[in-house]
Structure formats: structure tokens, C-alpha cells
Structure 1
């Protein structure tokens, strides 16, 4: 049994049994992938994949039983290669991050700039997607770090680390009636058409639940994945925008009023997701610490190396009081005036 054969089986499984996609990811040909898989099946004495012609249709019972072991081997091979590279060429290699547009656009630029200054020889790959896509990339080993607000908790293969809290803001043209109100109510918002994020990008259920508790039905006329798109349609007069507060840029968005609405909705938690058992390189620890200074190496390793899924969740919850206090301190610093609403 060869490591390449194990890699090919795992890559096909991670790509939904799509041999073409697996071949592309492996930088090889489809016949080459099929040949390696036949060889490992011959050696093991059973088929891993059911076939229909040249296509794989599903895992066999044997395949379902053996795949976790092959994945574990491949995982340790990846860790070994990463460790070997760090030992032979410290401060080099590749760091792959998957995140949403909001994080990439507003939360990560300063972190990445500082990281690049410290590790100029490390190549950064930044992938954008929905939270579910981001989590799937991390679980499949296609990225090292997943950063998102929602979706990561649905994958037990990931250990989550809370990074920071954020809340929403209303953005409207400066001549909009809401711009005159410093503390709008849910009734105020429900009286206008709303433009906000698609459901999968933030926990919009918190927002809709807040309206539902007041027996209000928000009029969502447009949803988007990008805060800049939301602001564009606000400028066009389509509706009132609800965005992450960090996405309002006072220097660039001078034509918009930004109104603090954290009194209406619960805080959101942006988290880092790491694949369980992952061995981190020094640059990876450094990146995480720059993004979330309260996360130290001991806490990260304790959660990652534990086989107790609940331990990571307990560590997650343990950090929330600290983040709440930090969020409150930041709010006080940036709260003069308490609202960005303009007369």
C-alpha cells in the first residue's frame, strides 16, 4: 500500500466521488486516479467504491469502514510534511485560510499585513465562501484555518475557538427619517424594506427571532453576501441596510448614516475552526494569536489533541465572558457619540 494510493482515495472521497475534480486537485489525470485506486483495492481485497461504468457512485460497506483509517493516515502524513518543512525551512511554506467576504474585507487586512511582515516567506492562500463551504474546506484538509461566524459548529471534525464579538448597524442615506433616530426600535425597522445578509452568512435567525418576539414581520426585499453590495442598494433607495458594524467605513461611507442597533440584537461570535488533530506550525500559531490575542498555544493544543469533542466546546464557552468584556470595553471607546446617526 502506497501513500499516494491512500491520498487518491481520500481526495476522491473529499470531492464527492468526482474523479475529475479529484484529478484536478491532485494535478494528475483521471485514468491515473482510477488506476491507483484499483491497485489499492486489489491489495486490500475489496472494492472501496461502487461503480457505474467509469464513475464512482458511492462508498461500499467496506469503503465506509476503512475510509476513516485512510483519512487518519493521510492526516498524519500532512502533519509530518508540515513539521518536516518547518524543521528544515523555518518560516516558509503555505498558510491557507477560508473565510467570508466580511472577514476578509474588514477583519483580516491588518492581521495579514502584520503576519506578512513577520513571515515574508510564507505564501498565503485566501479562499472566500459561505460558512458551510468554509467549514467543508477545513474538514477536507484543503485549508488550514476556517474563519466564520456561523456554520462551523455543525462540523464535529472542527474544534472552534471564539475570536471576537460583533453586532449589527443600520445604514441609510443621511436624509432618511431613521437618520434622525439614535436608538431605533424593532417597530421602526419593521416599517421599512430591509436589505441584509443572506441567511447562511450570519445567524439571521437571531434577527428574525427578535422581530418574532415582538410579533413583527421584517420586510426583506434583498439579501446579499457582501456588505458593499448591501450599501450600494441602500444608496439606490431600495431599502434600509442592516450590516456588520465593522463594515461601515466613516471615511468611505460619508454619504451614509450608521446607526448602532446592538441594543436590538444579540452579539455574534466570530470563530476560528481547526481540524481536530491538526499539527500547527509556528506561523499558524502566530496568525491565530494576531487575529485573536487571547488564544495561546496551550489552549489551542489542548483542544486540538483531545479526543473529547465536548472539551473544545467547553473551552469555547470558557472564553465567551472574556470576549463579552472586551466587546463592552471597545464599545465604550468607540461610543462617542453613541450613534453614528447624522442630523
Structure 2
């Protein structure tokens, strides 16, 4: 059954009960009396019951309304407690939340999240552990981070993975590069140009080696790096092109860099939240986690 009412309707219900009249209740929650009446009517319609008996002199609860009141009070009290906890954390200068994140998501994506979080909770310090996938996994498993953002792979048994995005690999290149004007680029075509790769300590390198085991480039890479973000810096400097996950790329308005989808084959990577199983997050960590879920992620090239 679909219940079509919201928090405002429940608050209107409680206000009428407390004030004993629609006019006083409307004044208390600072809305017009017709607007309050509509909220009560919406609530009664959604529940398919009458909650109030109305006469010219007074408003009283029906039998069903009396039974419903304790449930409403409990829901609203629980919400008040939760909001109070968030408010207390936000007002504490020493409050902090620690997130572990792979560099490919830390460089362009996480600054947007942290900026939005800081505007909401300026007194909470965010600690960002930008590290390899294995190190992110370890930090979450050991409790050094509240939670992490990483890609699926070998996870510790005490860590859970929640998928946020399935992204594809793109070729990162300068806008003045011959590949930049293409709609898509095959891996073989990319390997015809000077290219940069990750070294074998990288989790991304392991993933790509498995996905591309049948491809044999005719020439070796001109440089190897440990992190995707370093590769992108080398691409921007004009050293060559590089295969990177799309979340690592800047937005479409970047003056120098562009990402073009790689095909034949199309290689995908699962990005998500990792949390220690059974761990209860602090209110601050819950808020940061929710912002990550709400922030748009790029799943294809620019």
C-alpha cells in the first residue's frame, strides 16, 4: 500500500492536537489555516480514516485519531533526536569524519562532495585518506576511516561494498590531440600513439590486465606511474594519452583535457561505498555518506 503523506502533514496533525483548534495550530506552525486544513485532509485521505471530529466550538480526536497519536509523537520525537545529534556534532569544533578514497575519485569528484559538506557543517573537519584500493580497504577494515570510496575487487571479509556507479574507461588526451575529436577510440588505436600506463602495484592495472589479456600493444608505454591522477597530469603536460576511469576526468568545460570512450572491448569498473560490517556511523559520517550518494558522478567520457 502506498502511503501518500509526509512530515509536514504529521507536524500539522500534532499541532492541531496540541492547540485544540485549526486556527491556533496554523499560527503555531506559521502557515495559513486553509493550508493546514489541506494537510489534515491529505493525511486522512492517505490513511482512509477520519482523525478529528469537528464542531463549531472545538476539535477533538476520533477513536482512530487517539490510537494514531502515540505513533506520530514517537516518529516526530525520533526525528527530533536524530536532528539534535547532527546539530550537536555540527556545533562541536573538534568533530571530524574520516573517509578513505582511491585517488581516481579523490581528485575531481571528492572536492565537490567536501565543498558541499563544508557549506553545511563548517565546523566539522574532514580527513581524506587518498590511497590505493588495498590501502582504502585496509583503512576501513581496521577502523582508521569511517567509510571508503573505492572500486570493487578483493575486499576484506569484514567489509561490505555498496555499488554507486558502473563507469567505463576512457582515453584521456589533450583537446589538440588527434584522438580528441573521435566519438570513441579502440584500445588498439590508442596503443598506436604515445601512451602512459600504471605500474603493476595499481589495482586499476590488475583490472585492465585481466580485461585486455588478448591485446598485445606493438610498442611499450613511454612512462609508468602508480596513480591515475599522476597519469592525467602527464597527459595534460603533453607526454601522451592514457586509459583512465571516467570519474577521474575533469568536467566537460576543462580547457585542456577531454575523455573519449574506449571500445573493443568496453571495460567497466564498479565504484561504490565500502564500510566495515556492523559499524555504526557517526551523524557526521552519515551526512557525508548521503552527500556522496546524491552527488552526480560521470559514468562516460566528456
The TM-score range, normalised by the shorter chain, is 0.5 to 0.7
Structure 1 CA distance, aligned partners of 2:86 and 2:209? 50
Question: In proportion to residue count, which structure has more helix?
Answer: 1
Contact residue 86 and residue 284 of structure 2 kept, 8 A:
no
Q: Is the 8 A contact 1:150 1:201 kept in 2?
A: no
Aligned equivalent of 2:135, options 110, 133, 136: 133
Matching residue of 2:63:
none
Task: Give, in whole Å, the separation in 1 of the partners of 2:102 and 2:268.
Answer: 18
In structure 2, the CA distance between the partners of 1:110 and 1:239, relative to structure 1 (3 Å rule), is closer
Contact residue 252 and residue 258 of structure 2 kept, 8 A: no
> RMSD in angstroms over aligned alpha carbons?
3.5
Q: How far 1:235 sits from its partner (Å)?
A: 4.7
CA displacement at 1:117 relative to structure 2: 2.5
What's 2:113 paired with?
111
Deviation at 1:164, TM superposition (A): 1.7
Return closer, same or farther for 1:288/1:199 CA change in 2, 3 Å cut-off: farther
Structure 1 length-normalised TM: 0.53
Whole-angstrom CA distance in 2 between matches of 1:274 and 1:228: 24
Tell me how far 1:97 sits from its aligned partner: 1.0
Find the counterpart in structure 1 of residue 183 from structure 2. 182
**C-alpha displacement at 1:216, in angstroms?**
5.3
Are the structure 2 counterparts of residues 88 and 176 from structure 1 closer, same or farther at C-alpha, using a change threshold of 3 Å? Answer: closer
1:281-300 to structure 2, matched below 5 A, reads: 281-293=282-294
Q: Is the CA contact (8 Å cut-off) linking 2:152 and 2:161 kept in structure 1?
A: no
2:281 — aligned with what?
280
1:217-236 matches, cutoff 5 A: 219-236=220-237
Give the secondary-structure state (helix, strand or coil) at the position aligned to 1:213. coil
What are the ranges of 5 or more consecutive residues in structure 1 without an aligned counterpart? 1-82, 295-325
Structure 2 CA distance for partners of 1:198 and 1:270, relative to 1, 3 Å: farther
Which has the greater radius of gyration? 2
Runs of 5+ in structure 2 lacking a partner? 1-81
Distance of 2:160 and 2:222 partners within structure 1? 36
Q: Residue 134 of structure 1: CA displacement?
A: 1.5
What does residue 44 of structure 1 align with?
none
SS of residue in 2 equivalent to 1:179:
helix
**d(CA) in 2 for partners of 1:174 and 1:266?**
23
How far apart are the structure 1 equivalents of 2:87 and 2:258?
A: 53
Equivalent residue for 1:16? none
Deviations 1:226-249 (A, max 9, x none): 444323433555432222323333
Question: Counterparts of 1:251-270 in structure 2 under 5 Å?
Answer: 253-261=254-262, 264-270=265-271
Change (3 A) 1:145 1:190: same
Deviation for aligned residue 1:203: 3.4
For 2:76, the equivalent position in structure 1 comes to none
TM-score, normalised relative to structure 2: 0.59
In 1, are the aligned partners of 2:105 and 2:247 still within 8 Å (CA)? no
2:144 to 135, 142, 145: 142
Q: Matched residue pairs, number?
A: 217
Change (3 A) 1:262 1:271: farther
Question: How much does 1:155 deviate?
Answer: 0.4
Report how far residue 130 of structure 1 moved. Answer: 1.1
